Amino acid sequence: MEETLATPDTTRRSLSPSCSSAVKSRAAGFERRTKRRLSETNATVREDYQEEEEEDEVKEKIEALQRIIPGGTALGVDALFEETAGYIMSLQCQIKTIKVLTSFLQRLDQEDMKFGG
């Protein structure tokens, strides 16, 4: 089966079956390359979208942290992280103090109960 090919001078040339398969092969190769490029472009767009989502998430978390830490709204990110570390250490110290006081008060109550107080 022979196919015809239009040329710029509007004359038609007859293509042999082997030439026809070469044209189809090139077209298939072009199609594969186009699909691959499109796939790569879509992957890049998805990555960009994910990066934007991650950036938005980080911004939201930083804003939440600024609200939690006393004076945090006036701090930049680096200073905020340093202040957060100090604040966590302060809270841990307060927890230990409360535990010691609770234990002390429980012992006092137990001694009072022994002596009928």
pLDDT per residue over 69-85, tens digit each? 999 999 999 999 999 99
Contact (Cβ atoms closer than 8 angstroms) between residue 4 and residue 13: yes
State how far the Cα of 82 lies from the Cα of 77, in Å rounded to an integer: 9
Report the pLDDT value the prediction gives residue 116, as an integer from 0 to 100: 67
Furthest C-alpha separation in the chain:
120
For residue 48, which phi and psi values (nearest 5 degrees)? -60, -40
Three-state DSSP at 75 gives coil
Three-state DSSP at 69 gives coil
Report the pLDDT value the prediction gives residue 72, as an integer from 0 to 100: 93
Residue bearing the bigger pLDDT, 9 or 61: 61
Report the pLDDT value the prediction gives residue 16, as an integer from 0 to 100: 57
| pTM attached to this predicted model | 0.52
Question: Which residues pair with residue 3 across a beta bridge?
Answer: 15
The mean pLDDT value for 37-58 works out to: 82
